[in-house]
């Protein structure tokens, strides 16, 4: 049993994960599969960043917003450095997570949800659609063809995650839920980012609501941080795994699928130089787009 507050009445971290998971499950859209015999007891759950999509979806989104002059290229570079540090370490740093969360929330506070969603749809079509791993997309389609529902499960804002899911023809998405009042973002989250244990809580909450048999469900991810979600279902699969998840998969007997080229796969977890090159290219690309728009 989870104690929701500490002696000072503040919500504890584990309780925030439960709140975030429940909020994400409540926000998830549910559609029955069509054209095939439904198998409503089984489902598949896919992480997004480096699992379904090449790179970080929130970074691609940030590039698109920077091109639309929502913030500066310097801000984008700082955000990209935080993403790189997190991806390379594979370890959640509380201070960095808080900083990243505050930065991400600051630029949407007070803005209309419809405005941000409209940009997200454009940015997906312009940038993200070209970065979907075809191998992972085929796995998702395999589950759909079997009559199972398929959800994305990601720390990405649920609005953006839902757009990605709908564009791919999936059932829906579990993502980070932001507080909205009168159609505008307040700059606060409901619970915490849907990351690590919160993803597992979201899957559990959705399973209870939809009557899923988790032993018949499958989860896919690239990161060791998603072991809680992967171990919640009957079948865990490592997609383009980081080195820690690859070891974990070997120990647990999970299947591993790697859709990167041999050259890229050899670089996993290694080179700050390569990552910095991607960031520099991203900033340069954003500047070019901004000049074109201007």
Active site residues: 47, 49
First to last CA, the chain: 56
Q: Could you identify the residue written with the tokens 């940015």? A: 123
- Written in H, E and C, the secondary structure of 149-166 is EEEEEEEEEHHHHHHHHH
Three-state secondary-structure class, residue 70: coil
User: Between helices 57-67 and 158-167, what is the axis angle to 10°?
Assistant: 100
CA distances from 13 to 16, 22, 99, 193 (A): 5, 14, 16, 11
Q: Which phi and psi angles does 214 have, rounded to 5°?
A: -60, -25
E strand map for the chain: 43-46, 149-157, 172-176, 178-181, 184-189, 218-221, 235-239, 255-257
DSSP 253: T
User: CA 175, CA 20: separation in Å to the nearest integer?
Assistant: 9
């Amino acid at each position: 049993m989870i104690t929701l507050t500490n002696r000072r009445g503040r919500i504890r971290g584990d309780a925030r994960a439960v709140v975030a998971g429940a909020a994400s499950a409540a926000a998830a859209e549910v559609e029955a599969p069509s054209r095939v015999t439904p198998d409503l007891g089984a489902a598949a759950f896919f992480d997004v960043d480096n699992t379904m999509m090449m790179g970080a979806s929130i970074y691609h989104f940030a590039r698109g917003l920077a091109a639309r002059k929502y913030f500066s290229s310097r801000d984008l570079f700082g955000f990209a450095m935080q993403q790189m540090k997190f991806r390379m370490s594979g370890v959640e740093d509380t201070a960095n997570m808080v900083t990243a969360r505050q930065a991400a929330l600051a630029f949407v506070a007070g803005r209309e949800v419809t405005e941000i969603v409209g940009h997200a749809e454009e940015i997906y079509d312009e940038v993200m659609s070209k970065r979907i791993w075809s191998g992972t997309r085929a796995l998702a389609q395999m589950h759909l063809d079997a009559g199972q529902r398929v959800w994305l499960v990601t720390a990405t804002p649920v609005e953006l995650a839902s757009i990605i899911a709908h564009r791919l023809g999936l059932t829906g998405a579990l993502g980070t839920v932001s507080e909205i009042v009168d159609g505008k973002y307040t700059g606060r989250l409901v619970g915490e980012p849907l990351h690590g244990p919160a993803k597992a809580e979201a899957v559990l909450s959705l399973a209870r609501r939809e009557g899923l048999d988790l032993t018949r469900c499958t989860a896919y991810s690239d990161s060791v941080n998603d072991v809680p979600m992967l171990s919640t279902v009957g079948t865990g699969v490592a997609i383009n795994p980081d080195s820690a998840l690859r070891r974990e998969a070997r120990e647990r007997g999970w299947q591993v699928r790697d859709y990167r080229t041999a050259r890229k796969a050899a670089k996993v977890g290694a080179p700050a130089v390569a990552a910095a090159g991607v960031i520099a290219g991203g900033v340069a690309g954003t500047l070019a787009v901004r000049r074109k728009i201007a």
